[in-house]
Structure 1
Amino acid sequence: MDELSASVSPEAAARDRRARIAVAGAYFVQGFCFAGLLTQVASLQKRFGFDDTQLSLVLLAVPVVAGVGSVVAGLLTTRFGSSPVLRAGGPGVALAITVTGFAAERWQLYLALAFVGLMLGLVDATMNMQGVGVERRYGRPVLNSFHAVWSAGAILGALATSGTAHLGWSIGASLATVAVVGAILALIAGPGQLRKAEEAQEIPAATVAAAEATIPWRPIILIGIAMMLMFIADSAVSNWSSVFIEKALHASTAVAALGLAAYQATMLVGRTAGDRIVSRFSPTMVVSVGGVVGGLGLILVAASTTPALSIAGFAVVGLGLSLVVPQSFSAAGRLDPAGTGIAIARVNLFNYVGFVVGAGLIGAVAESLSLRWAFVVPALLAAGIVVLSPSFRTHAPEPAATPATPATPATPATPEAAS
């Protein structure tokens, strides 16, 4: 049977599939371009002579500006819808990483990375708005599949850096190649995205106000902290894996890029199988075991003496932590049975907090101790994910008592309820 409801017309079903493919393309481009840039961090550090503290400050600035870009996206989409912003932001990311690759002076790099952060924030917000819109039209969760596509793009982006480095290409040529591919795919995917009228969900103001009043903050904060701890580890891997392999283990740029590729590869595996795993085991167990496995992988990285061993460690980290973020959003969704998105928006705040804290913390530890200890810290913090795993056992808040009302016809389940 078709994955869409049988009551949906063939024309509507075809439109939804087209939108899903187009939105998946946006996720792919974001992962592809972002990984292409991240795997050049060690080369950029070498080009501009940054020490680890200076590098951490530069890396910290990107998610800060991305947060600004996310806010700007929210303002723009209110008026224009998410698709026009996303269609501009996708090629914008490609242009930004190209400018970064050809920066010759530090001030040029700073401006280029600010541009990168702004574009990443715009795309991150709008592609998830599109993803939620597609999920709403399908009537069941599909966001996990989009995250898997992001990971697939990141794998190919890392492999692109490895391949171009092996051929002896410059940073600028490598990033420009990634950018051209990304821009072409973004332009192809754009027309299929949901228009404003298609993605809109009319929710009465009274429903939104009631939902906001009943959604409890305590589980939101606990789930958010677990997500933040995951993103600290993710920041360590994303920003510092190539630096660690290249500097501490004396590997080439081509080999160093494989650390992030291995991490994203096992992320892809975990997220692809995620729905079946969560159906068989509880979210609490999945998150708890994931925290343990992710922490052990980080310890393996810190203890590694060869590039191959460190790459294997990064693969273990990706497998362990792959489902923490999807389960964070799923748990938040169960706290918001009206489907207003309020709980998910609150949890998402911890995303950027984790990246900002991770960039600064890991860099500070690397400078004061060593790059090895910089991976021990998130390994210890991963234990916090295990401790917080019971908070993922969420359920809808009890509705406030209201006077009895006449029975009304049943309404279709929201995506959260359907999950």
Structure 2
Amino acid sequence: MSLAQPAPTPSRWLRAALPAMFILLGVIYATWASRLPAIRDLRVLDAATLGTILLGGGLGAVLSFPLAAWLLAHYGARRAALYAGLGLLFGLPLLGVLPNWWLLFAGVFVLGAASSCFDVAINAIGAEQEREAGRSIMSMLHAWFCVGTFSGALVGSAAAGLGLSPLWHFLLVAFVLLLMLICAYRILPCDAPDPDAGKKHFALPHGALIWLGLIAFLGAISEGSLTDWISLYLTDHLHASEAGAPLGYAAFAGAMLVARLVGDRLKDRFGARRLVAGSSLLAAVGLGVAIAAPSFGVAVIGFVLTGLGVAAVFPCLFSAAGREGPTALAGVATLGYSGSLMGPPLMGYAIHGYGYVFGMALLAVVSVFVAVAAMRARLLV
């Protein structure tokens, strides 16, 4: 049987295939983020140079979203997820061997491009499944992403504690995830390419979609920056060990998981607009606690509150954008995940110039702006 055709599968395996794709993306994010202190030390990078390297991911994301829309239009979301996933898994180990900052910049560019294409594809599948189900499921799907980030952070902590180099760590993770990707791809049902293929595949958000794009961009700046800088904040500002710092990120990811497990019910009860606005204010409070924290433990409590707060943004946004079609989804994702991947370099420059407290305070202000923008977004229902 060819790889292109899914095998007949029991319904329980079919239900597990898409969550496995979200787990895979989460593990990739956390694997890279958890070993940033080691990469930084191995290559002797200061905060500004590290920020420049992370900018490569943002550029890759921005430039790849037209490609993501084109892949969906010509091949369907299932095959687009396979192609982008292979790019992710072959690109990750390269980050453990690239010897200087400009090659690392290029490697992170590839990782950012592949992750954004993969993310658009699996969220397109999720939006379609949500329409078929007739109920909210996007928050639960993004909870599986948090399962991946939580697991990846714990494995990263263990790998650092055992003295495993980033290269071998990345290779082992990529091998396991390759098996997961192939199995999930074979199980997912075939989907048809977009019938509008050959027409417009991509457009920046306009009209009412502008508010969704703005919220996605600002919210992703916070989530993406925290993904890459929590471990560094705990290492450099509060002097946590290399093995202990990823546990702070694991607590953040675990809190996001808990919030997303109940997110669909909260959305149905309170509405997406109020849920995003209220949870964003909670994220700002959590960042304030982390900033004022005198110790590692108190800072972790702050990041737990922050994780609870940022968890609602993307499930609600992708659900709302998915209702407007694949082009709208790709457009909102352009601003969203470009923010996720451009936020970390901006944090690097802020930290290099003014310190960690200033950088985290900026993220708290961004969370407040997300809350204000959410109350203006009429498509966020």
**Partner residue of 1:122?**
117
2:334 paired residue number: 349
CA distance in 2, matches of 1:69, 1:298: 31
Q: 1:41 is matched with which residue: 31, 36, 39? A: 36
Asked if the contact 2:219–2:310 (Cα under 8 Å) also holds between the matched residues in 1, the reply is: yes
Q: Tell me the alpha carbon deviations over residues 73-107 of structure 1, each in whole angstroms, 9 at most, x when there is no partner.
A: 33233333232332233243222111212333444
Q: Which has more radius of gyration?
A: 1
Query: Is this contact kept in 2: 1:16–1:137, CA < 8 A?
Result: no
CA apart distance, 1:192? 1.0
For 1:139-218, list aligned pairs within 5 A: 139-197=134-192, 217-218=206-207
- The change in CA–CA distance for 1:148 and 1:202 in structure 2 (over 3 A counts) is same
1:187–1:346 Cα change, 3 Å: closer
Deviations along 1:6-45, whole A, 9 cap, x unmatched? xxxxxxx977764442122111111112210111112111
CA distance, structure 2, for counterparts of residue 357 and residue 100 of structure 1: 18
Aligned residues: CA RMSD: 2.8
Q: What's the secondary structure of 2:92's corresponding residue?
A: helix
1:373-410: CA deviation from partner (whole Å, max 9, x where unpaired): 11001101211122223224548xxxxxxxxxxxxxxx
1:50 aligns with 2:61: no
In structure 2, the partner of 1:322 is 311
Q: How far is the alpha carbon of 1:182 from its aligned partner? A: 1.3
SS for the counterpart of 1:391 is coil
Q: CA deviation at 1:234?
A: 0.8
Among candidates 218, 226, 229, match of residue 215 of structure 2 = 226
Cα–Cα, structure 1 residues 62 and 250, in superposed 2: closer, same or farther, change >3 Å?
Answer: same
Task: Provide the C-alpha distance between the structure 2 equivalents of 1:50 and 1:111, rounded to a whole number of angstroms.
Answer: 16
**Relative to structure 1, is the Cα distance of residues 283 and 107 closer, same or farther in structure 2, using a 3 angstrom cutoff?**
closer
User: Residue 259 of structure 2 corresponds to which residue in structure 1?
Assistant: 270
Give the deviation of 1:168 after TM superposition: 1.7
- Hey, what's the Cα distance between the residues in 1 that align with 2:13 and 2:325? 25
Amino acid at match of 1:378: L
Residue in 2 that maps onto 1:101: 96
Aligned twin of 2:361: 376
> What letter matches 2:246 in structure 1?
A
CA distance 1:189–1:244, change in 2 (3 Å)? same
Aligned partner of 2:108: which letter? L
* Stretches of structure 1 lacking an aligned partner (at least 5 in a row): 1-12, 396-418
1:244 aligns with 2:229: no
CA offset at residue 166 of structure 1? 1.4
- What SS is found at the alignment partner of 2:222? helix
> Taking structure 2 as the reference length, what is the TM-score of the superposition?
0.88
Query: Gaps (5+ residues) in structure 2?
Result: 1-7
Is contact 1:235-1:355 (8 Å) kept?
yes
What amino acid maps onto 2:154 in structure 1? Answer: L
Aligned residues: 370
Secondary structure, counterpart of 2:175 in structure 1: helix
Give the secondary structure class of the aligned counterpart of 1:196. Answer: coil
Q: Provide Cα deviations, 1:123-142, integer angstroms capped at 9, x if missing partner.
A: 12222232233334434442
Question: Using the alignment, how far apart are the partners of 2:108 and 2:122 within structure 1?
Answer: 20
Q: Which deviates more from structure 2 when the two are superposed, residues 160-169 or residues 226-235?
A: 226-235
Report the residue type matching 1:367 in the other structure: H
Structure 2 residue 61 is matched with structure 1 residue 73: no
**Structure 1 Cα separation of the partners of residues 167 and 106 of structure 2:** 16
SS at match of 1:94: helix
Q: Paired residue for 1:340?
A: 325
* 1:391 equivalent in structure 2: 376
Q: Work out the CA distance in 2 between the residues paired with 1:17 and 1:258.
A: 32
Q: Distance in 1 between matches of 2:273 and 2:302?
A: 24
- Pair 1:204–1:353, CA change in 2 (3 A): closer
Equivalent residues of 2:220, 2:339 under 8 A apart: yes
Counterparts in 2 of 1:20-35, with a 5 A limit? 20-35=15-30
> What's the offset of the Cα at 1:203?
8.1
Give the corresponding residue for 2:5: none
Structure 1 pair 321–183 and aligned structure 2 pair: CA distance change class (3 A): same
Matches within 5 A, 1:302-321: 302-321=291-310
**Deviation (angstroms), 1:204:** 12
In 1, Cα distance between the equivalents of 2:271 and 2:73? 37
Aligned-pair identity (%): 26
Greater relative contact order structure (CA < 8 Å, 6+ sep): 2
The answer (yes or no) to whether the contact 2:220–2:336 under 8 Å persists in 1 is yes
